[in-house]
Structures are given as C-alpha cells and as structure tokens.
Amino acid sequence: MAEQNNAIYLDYHSTTPVDARVVDAMLPYLRENFGNPASRSHAFGWTAKAAVDLAREQVAQLLGAQPREVVFTSGATESDNLALAGVAARYRHSGTHIITSQIEHKAVLDPASALEKRGFQVTRLPVGADGIVDPEAVREAIRPDTILCSIMMANNEVGTIQPVAHIGRICKEMGVFFHCDAAQAMGRVPVSVKDAAIDLLSLSAHKMYGPKGIGALYIRRGRPWLRLEPLILGGGHESGLRSGTLPVHQIVGMGVAASLAGEELALGHELERQQRLRDRLLEEITNGLDKVHVNGSMEHRLVNNLNISFDFVDAEALMLAMPQLAVSSGSACTSATMEPSHVLMAMGYSRERAASSIRFGLGRFTTESDISRAVELVVGCVPRLRELSPFYRPAP
C-alpha cells in the first residue's frame, strides 16, 4: 500500500481536506472559547453564541438565504433525512406522494424507501444517458396528493448538474415543496435558493474544505408556510428542529468554509483552473488509451468531475493496481456494497460499463503534477489489466 504522503488525491467528491484557514478559525473554540452557546448567563456562552451566529450568517450568505433559515445538523445525510421525514410527518394529512429521481444519493433514496413502508408512495424519475432529470417529467409526475419533490443539484458520481431552477418553478407553480441535496454543488455552482424556488436544501461542510460531522438544512421561512417534524428531540435547540449541544468549533469551521467558497465562486479563477486540469486529464487519458467512455453530460457537469469507463477493465482491480492514486468507483458512501453504481445503471449503461467506471474528483489543492502522475498511472495500468481479458482486442 502506498504511503499517504506519496499518494495523489483525486477523490474530492468523497471528502475534501480541511483548509488551513478553516482549522485556524476552529482551534480557539476547542481551547479557550469552549463555552456552550445555550449558556445565557456568562461570557463563555455569549462568546460561543456569537460565533455560531456569525457562522449561520456565513452559510446563509452562500445560499442567498436569511440566517434564521439555516439549521445546523451533523451533515447532508441528516439534513436529507430531516427534509424527507420531516415533511412527510407534518403534511401526511395533505398527501402521501413524494417524487425523486433514480440517481439521488442514498441519503435520499433510503429515507424514501423507508417512507414507502409507512404507507407513502414514491415516484423515482428516470434519467437519460446524460444523467439529467427532465423538468417536464417532474410536472407530469405531480399528483393532487404530492407533497414533496427531492432532486439533487449535482450528482455525486457523474457530476451532472440538474435544472433545479426549472424544477423549482414547476413545484412552486403546482404547490409542491421542493427539496434539493446540494452537498456536491456548494462552492462549485452558484446557488440562490430564492431564484431557484428551493424550499429545503441540504449541505455538508466536508465537501467544501470544512470539517466532517457538521452540515446544515436550509428551511424556507414565509408563505406558503413550511413546517417540519424534528427527528431528534431533547432540548429544543435550532428552533426546536434539531436538539443537542451545538459543536461550536465545527460550526465555526463550516462558516469559514462557506465564506471561502463564496469568495472562490465570485472570483471564478479557481474553478477555471480545476476545469483546465480536468480537461487535460480527459484529453491525455483518451489520447493514451482506446475504448474509453465519459459517463454523463460534459456540458452540464461540475468542473472538477470526470467519470470514465474503461472497457474490459474492472474498476476495483484498476484501483488496486495503482494504490498511489486516490480515486473511487461510484459513490464513496456505497462503495462497500461492491454493487455496480445505481447511478450508471439508471442512466442505461450496462453492468459491465458501470463496473469499469472510475470517478476522478479534482479540488483546491490539485496540481499539474498530480494530473501528470495520474495519467501516467492510468495509461500504464489499464493495458496490463486488459491483457488479462480474453475479449479485449486493441483498436487497429
């Protein structure tokens, strides 16, 4: 196994390293400013509460929201669960139908399946080979008893960016709440919850150079009123929606990470750099190998994402053959199942193509040298593995 300090990290969709500026901001709240923000009678609590309030403002600014619309959670998975289960429990009297897509993260698909066991009906919309949800399919799926539509902003495997603003307008027009899992999009795609008519939005700090274990759920305030039933009870924290002592240092880290992400989006230089590196990676791999396929739309895609299938190569075998390169096959959250990607299967690809796919995720600290080494490893390992296949024939 390669030593970690010699490895090339191209798995930024799985998680990101915590930015040094984020770490610096967090440390005082692990040491001298260790108070509980719920302690209202002394300076330790006041200092902690002020830090949480600032972080809430920073996260809200990234979303184009109001601070009071941000509820801190343990991450996007909890936020997704709270959005789906919270709406279902609160509005069951209005309807029991939920719409989502076949390529959502398991943090949405699994709660949806759990709700089915409790009497709800779930429509899982298909996608084409480009990995895009058709907004008009959402319109057609809405019924009088539909209470919620949950469509992700950017897919965690193939990076496809969904037309959420169009979907949001349809949901608003037809009186259906719209939830969006935006964990992969934050800091990579400009987000305005108001412009996109989003009612609920999930995000996670560790996908944007913040700490693990902290996330948030945006919950729109105002008419039409939106109320959720909480998942966690016991103290009434976060406006009664998420009880538990707030992890101030993690919240501070998420706030700074959100602020830095907003700055990068405004400037644009870093995202342009990542796209150039991504395009170089694709060009040099396809120049060095035949029978290589990009999965999903290249036009509507996160600039740091590349999902490629290598014919006649098992993705797990390829990753084992190049331990110096940190990439993944499918979602990091479900890779332990060893099943072909549900996303690629939903896009109509064969099991063989899905099983031969590798996800490359670039990020803030990816260098030109990283790309050169990654290309060298991939182009060197794929032919050796193909020699083991009785079906592979080199292109003439």
Of 265, 266, 106, the closest CA to residue 187 belongs to: 265
Contact yes or no for 310/377 (Cβ under 8 A): no
333 is catalytic: yes
Of 277, 326, 383, the closest CA to residue 335 belongs to: 326
CB-neighbour burial class of residue 137 (10 A; exposed 0-12, middle 13-18, buried 19+): middle
- Looking up tokens 């539909």 gives 146
Contact yes or no for 230/241 (Cβ under 8 A): yes
3-state secondary structure of 165: helix
CB atoms within 10 A of CB 392: 15
Helices 248-267 and 269-288, axial angle in degrees (round to 10): 80
**Per the residue annotation, which of 149, 171, 180, 333 is the catalytic one?**
333
* C-alpha to C-alpha distances, 243 to 38, 97, 190, 240, 351, nearest whole angstrom: 11, 28, 30, 6, 43
CB atoms within 10 A of CB 299: 9
- What one-character DSSP code corresponds to residue 300? S
Where is 299: in which H helix or E strand? none
Residues annotated as catalytic are: 333
